[in-house]
A and B are shown apart, each in its own frame.
Chain A
Amino acid sequence: MSTILEVAGMSASIGSQQVVESVSFSVPDTGITAVLGRNGVGKTSTLRGILGLIKRKGEVTLAGERIDGLPTHRIVQRGVGYVPEDREVFASLTVAENLALAERQANPRRDFVAHLFPDLVERRAQMAGTLSGGQQQMVSVARALLNDNRLLLVDEPTKGLAPRIVNEVAGALEEASRTVPILLVEQNLEVVKRLAKDAIVIDGGRVVHRGDAREILGDEELTRRLLGVHGDAPADGHGTEERA
């Protein structure tokens, strides 16, 4: 098994504040790899650092080529899809326009997306800002699935969604992961158990543990220590303290 993404000693900062400290990990070229950690430890910042959306230092290699010097749009053009933490759909654009903007290749995978999210087809002409949270998340995921990417970076796709929608989004990611590796930040541990093969645990801006996802979540002591939760309780963003 080879790796699609290699991160070596990457630090990232926002303004003058360093939010990721020299993280190193690799992402295999198949399946879903989960990124776990308490609120505010720097999971989102790690993804944004990889994409060059925030200032970063260190080495990032995609399929054997360094991408840490490239601007964001070039990284994405090399086959990285991104589903951001808070959906970030363009509220004043229609669903169709949101999707059209994301299309980078001559024959985008519209059928695949329509098959995963039939809802969106019906709502083509609706302003994305007027969609429900779940529907917006579908637009956001769909934007990443329209192209034949080499890697997807997906940040808390189930945050704040009703259980039925959580299922639908998880299902879509599962299906997508058959053809593209995914680096998934997820707080809902049930979803992690269902989807992820490997997991990386971040704490205090560093990678503190990596291994088989189910093994990590099965170890109650480890889970409590690293994630601040009990392995069997889904943690979705509450009850943990900010990093000092």
Chain B
Amino acid sequence: MSDFIRTWWKLLAGVAGVVFMALLPLLNISVPGVLPTPTYQPGTLALLSLAMVFSALALSYNMLLGTGGMLSFGHALYFGAGAYGLGIILANFGVPLWPGVLIALLGGLLIAIVTGAISMRVSGIPFAMVTLAFAQAGSVLVRRNSSVTGGEEGLSLNTEHVPDGLVGVANTRNLYWFALGVVVLVYLVALWVDRSRLGHLARATRENELRIRVLGLEPTRARFVLFLIAALSASGAGVAYILLQSGTVPRAVSADLTITVLVMVVLGGVGYRWGAVLGGFLYTILDQRLTVLAGSEAIEGLPSVLRIPLSEPLFLLGTLFILVVIFLPGGIAGTVETRWLQRRRADALTELDDDADEAQRPSEVRP
């Protein structure tokens, strides 16, 4: 019964959240210190759009880490594939936007199939290292082939075949709605994955590989499919990214970006979909705010022992991340759900994977 109410409550909260986000560009809300401008102006809309793209990426990463227990350091490769794929197609082949998006997504999927099949020869920590190597190769390719990718300079979006409504600062609002659409879509995919047999299998594998094998199921295949869905979702986020930023830079395929996403997911709470979304927002806004802070006069005047660390946003975010890992193991979402909502986690320990709510359980990820 309470389960039923909770499900409805969650659904309601979700829908309300999306509707609110959708209405933001039409409202005049100012949140000084957090958002740079009132919500209807391009400054804030661009920031929030970027946050949503990263939320989508974080959601896709959470499918890997939270649902599948797979620690990847190469997830940015698929994000970059989406971004660069679309950029290259639009620049070189004169294809209209939507078919171009489709081709970019398929390209990302293809790369994921090849690299995923190879990296899944190993699991746990070796898997993490191998995915890192693939992402590095991708990043090298991008930096080297500057005639196609723009090299270090990055690739700017060729807008010739992009509908006018999605181009320029004046249309930030439309891009914002597009980004919102992407994050909602990826959320629904993540929800579906968590509820589906596939998600159950992947989670059960994480818990106890041996038992799954005894049951005659193929754990590797479940994880592989999960990996592909996560990669495809990341490519989707990449597509939104290049449209939003009207270009992309090599950082979009770098290990750095994967680590950034990892930070978002861990801050938000590994294994919680809303945690991933929250992590994406929190990180993007903090990053932006801390950068502003770094340039502020208050910081300038400090002695260098304080000034240098405080003017490096990534130093502060990295430190925050370490503190969360050590002192807040479930991230924000995990802490909220276990501590304040007092859910029946404690006795859920012995319950097994056919618990429909298990997707939301803080995962003790094992290598």
Contact = CB atoms under 8 A, between A and B. Distances in A.
A–B contact via C-beta, under 8 angstroms: yes
Interface of A: 15-18
A15 B349 CA distance: 10
Contacts of A18: 350
Chain B interface residue number, banded: under 10
Contacts of B349: 16
Interface of B: 207-208, 349-350, 364
8 contacts: A15-B207, A15-B208, A16-B207, A16-B349, A16-B350, A16-B364, A17-B350, A18-B350
Nearest to B352: A16
A17 B350 CA distance: 7
B88 to A, nearest CB: 47
A56 to B, nearest CB: 15
Nearest to A18: B350
A18 B352 CA distance: 13
Contacts, number: 8
Contacts of A16: 207, 349-350, 364
Given A16-B349, A17-B350, 6 more contacts: A15-B207, A15-B208, A16-B207, A16-B350, A16-B364, A18-B350
B367 to A, nearest CB: 13
A122 to B, nearest CB: 40
Contacts of B208: 15
Question: Which 4 pairs across A and B sit closest by C-beta, in order of nearness?
Answer: A16-B349, A16-B350, A18-B350, A15-B208
A18 B347 CA distance: 12
A166 B294 CA distance: 74
Nearest to A17: B350
A16 B364 CA distance: 10
Contacts of B350: 16-18
A15 B364 CA distance: 10
Contacts of A15: 207-208
A16 B347 CA distance: 11
Contacts of A17: 350
Nearest to B351: A16
A204 B50 CA distance: 56
Nearest to B208: A15
A24 B350 CA distance: 22
A60 to B, nearest CB: 22
A177 B293 CA distance: 72
A141 B207 CA distance: 34
A16 B345 CA distance: 12
B35 to A, nearest CB: 42
A175 to B, nearest CB: 39
A208 to B, nearest CB: 22
A22 to B, nearest CB: 15
Contacts of B364: 16
B317 to A, nearest CB: 32
A17 B351 CA distance: 10
Nearest to B366: A15
A140 B81 CA distance: 55
B338 to A, nearest CB: 15
A18 B350 CA distance: 8
B85 to A, nearest CB: 41
Contacts of B207: 15-16
B344 to A, nearest CB: 15
A16 B204 CA distance: 12
A21 to B, nearest CB: 12
Nearest to A16: B349
A224 to B, nearest CB: 28
A13 to B, nearest CB: 9
A15 B69 CA distance: 15
A242 to B, nearest CB: 11
B120 to A, nearest CB: 23
A15 B211 CA distance: 13
A15 B210 CA distance: 13
B364 to A, nearest CB: 8
A16 B350 CA distance: 6
Nearest to B348: A16
A40 to B, nearest CB: 14
A240 to B, nearest CB: 18
Nearest to B211: A17
B354 to A, nearest CB: 15
A67 B120 CA distance: 43
A241 B8 CA distance: 45
A17 B208 CA distance: 11
A79 B207 CA distance: 36
B44 to A, nearest CB: 44
A104 to B, nearest CB: 32
A17 B349 CA distance: 8
A229 B91 CA distance: 78
A16 B349 CA distance: 6
A42 to B, nearest CB: 15
A17 B364 CA distance: 14
